[in-house]
């Protein structure tokens, strides 16, 4: 794996062991079928229980049946999954990071005990339902309402783009309450709930996103997590954007390595194309940006474990790494020439999947503005 500046030497033996374990599994069990499943728009569902045995699901929670690995180890696991199959990594990110992470942060003791152990084993799949048709970047202004009634809440509204929305056992669902935006544990067999898979999606085709509708759904009081306010959404995203920075890195490295291999073996004008100065310039640009991104994500992991990673820091790493991954995919595609658009060479799949990474968990613009707000003390958005 690409490591021009020996970043590996900055990892602990435990971190290397997690990375190597996930790498072996992902390359043997995910990568060989990733392109086919992507083309058919199908999820590698039969790999879910195997993922639960890798010791990474809910990996930074460290209780309730979840392993306790460092943020760097967790990030490296995300990187390795993304190198093999970015769609499957989105399943992992939503389930383990957004859903389990929210329950660990905001749930009651009883809620954590009920949901986290089976989710750590991947027996129950989690989703995270924040985005709405009219509220993507401005998620602070959600319109889905949970109105208090006897014994619980009546939920009305709709959600869009919800990953794992077709197969979840529990969704962390954000809705307006009289106290502000609050997270609920929502189960799919609730009366009044309906969902439609989103069609025509040309990125992350190997994982399903759905639109959800809630028509007078009853949610018992015991399913509300005891926090309120948009700051809680910001808090879970502060953590998961760290994971996404590593995911983007995995895709950038996959593209770079495909380009490097092609540049060494493809002969034009009697020479390997890697001997041409313009091709070398592209490879060096990719390797330079990957190296910078590796150091950025690793230091962010260390800050996170020390309790010193701010929202601006994780936003900056997410924005940077998704941007450089996008650039690396474009350059790799160029170096592969026509072969770059063939699905069997993986680069075009990564290139399209990165478009989703660039946009979800806060677009590049929004994450840049979160970092900008922290640097200046001035908010550029409401
Ligand atoms: C594949 C995929 C999976 C997803 N999975 C989930 C999921 O599991 N759960 C979930 O809740 N959501 C999910 N999302 C939703 C995702 O978080 C949103 O798409 C994202 O927040 C952007 O919202 P939007 O698409 O509505 O774009 P918009 O908010 O409409 O933005 C459109 C453009 O306007 C720009 N813009 C908006 N406001 C500003 C501003 N103030 N300043 C400058 N530029 C601005 C944006 O940067 C963007 O370029 C997913 C999305 C995708 C594509």
pLDDT in tens, 275-285: 999 999 999 99
Closest C-alpha to ligand 1, atom 30: 136
Cα separation, 96 vs 365, whole angstroms? 25
pLDDT in tens, 302-311: 999 999 999 9
Q: Which ligand 1 atom minimizes the distance to the CA of 207?
A: 1
| For residue 241, pLDDT beyond 90 | yes
Q: What is the pTM of this model?
A: 0.98
Closest C-alpha to ligand 1, atom 35: 365
195: left (phi over 0), alpha (psi -120 to 50) or beta: beta
CATH for 7-120, options being 1.10.540.10, 3.10.580.10, 3.40.50.80, 3.30.470.20: 1.10.540.10
| CATH number of the 126-223 domain | 2.40.110.10
Q: What is the per-residue pLDDT for 142?
A: 98
pLDDT in tens, 108-140: 999 999 999 999 999 999 999 999 999 999 999
Q: Return the CATH class of domain 230-376.
A: mainly alpha
Cα separation, 301 vs 243, whole angstroms? 9
What's the whole-number average pLDDT of the chain?
Answer: 98
DSSP track, 307-362: T---HHHHHHHHHHHHHHHHHHHHHHHHHTGGGGG-GGGSHHHHHHHHHHHHHSSS
What's the half-sphere exposure (Cβ side, CA atoms, 13 Å) at 376?
9
For the chain, the structural domain boundaries read: 7-120, 126-223, 230-376
Closest C-alpha to ligand 1, atom 37: 137
What percent of the chain clears pLDDT 70, i.e. is strictly above it? 100
| For residue 1, pLDDT beyond 90 | no
- Name all residues whose Cβ lies below 6 A of ligand 1: 94, 128-131, 136-137, 161-163, 203-204, 209, 356, 359-361, 363, 365-366, 381
pLDDT in tens, 204-233: 999 999 999 999 999 999 999 999 999 999
| For residue 317, pLDDT beyond 90 | yes
Sequence-distant (≥ 6) Cβ neighbours of residue 71 within 8 angstroms = 60, 242, 300, 301, 302, 304, 305
Q: What is the per-residue pLDDT for 336?
A: 98
pLDDT in tens, 78-92: 999 999 999 999 999
Which pLDDT band, with edges at 50, 70 and 90, does 145 fall under?
very high
Q: Which ligand 1 atom minimizes the distance to the CA of 369?
A: 42
The first and second tokens of residue 331, run together, are: 């350059």
């Amino acid at each position: 794996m690409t490591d021009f500046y020996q970043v590996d030497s900055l990892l602990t033996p435990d971190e290397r062991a997690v990375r190597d374990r996930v790498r072996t599994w992902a390359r043997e069990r995910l990568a060989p079928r990733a392109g086919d499943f992507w083309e058919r728009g199908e999820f590698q569902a039969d790999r879910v229980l195997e993922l639960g045995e890798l010791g990474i699901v809910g990996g930074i929670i460290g209780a309730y049946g979840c392993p306790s690995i460092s943020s760097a180890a967790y990030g490296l696991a995300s990187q390795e999954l993304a190198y093999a199959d970015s769609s499957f990594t989105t399943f992992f990110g939503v389930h383990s990071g957004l859903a389990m992470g929210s329950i660990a942060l905001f749930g009651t003791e009883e809620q954590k005990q009920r949901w986290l152990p089976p989710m750590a084993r991947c027996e129950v799949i989690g989703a995270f339902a924040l985005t709405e048709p009219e509220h993507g970047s401005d998620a602070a202004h959600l319109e889905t309402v949970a109105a208090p009634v006897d014994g619980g809440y009546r939920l009305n509204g709709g959600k869009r783009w919800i990953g794992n929305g077709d197969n979840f056992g529990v969704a962390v669902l954000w809705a307006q309450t009289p106290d502000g935006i609050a997270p609920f544990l929502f189960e799919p067999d609730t009366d009044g709930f309906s969902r439609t898979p989103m069609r025509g999606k040309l990125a992350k085709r190997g994982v399903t996103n759905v639109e959800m509708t809630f028509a007078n759904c009853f949610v018992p009081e015991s399913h509300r997590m005891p926090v309120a306010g948009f700051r809680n959404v910001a808090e879970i995203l502060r953590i998961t954007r760290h994971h996404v920075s590593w995911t983007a890195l995995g895709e950038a490295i996959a593209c770079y390595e495909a380009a490097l291999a092609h540049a060494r073996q493809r002969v034009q004008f009697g020479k390997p194309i890697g001997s041409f100065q313009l091709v070398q310039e592209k490879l060096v640009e990719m390797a330079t940006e990957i190296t910078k991104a590796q150091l950025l994500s690793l230091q962010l992991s260390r800050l996170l474990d020390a309790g010193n990673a701010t929202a601006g820091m994780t936003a900056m790493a997410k924005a940077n790494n998704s941007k450089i991954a996008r650039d690396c995919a474009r350059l790799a595609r160029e170096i592969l020439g026509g072969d770059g658009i063939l699905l069997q060479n993986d680069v075009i799949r990564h290139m399209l999947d990165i478009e989703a990474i660039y946009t979800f968990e806060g677009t590049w613009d929004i994450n840049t503005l979160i970092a900008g707000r922290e640097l200046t003390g001035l908010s550029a958005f409401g």
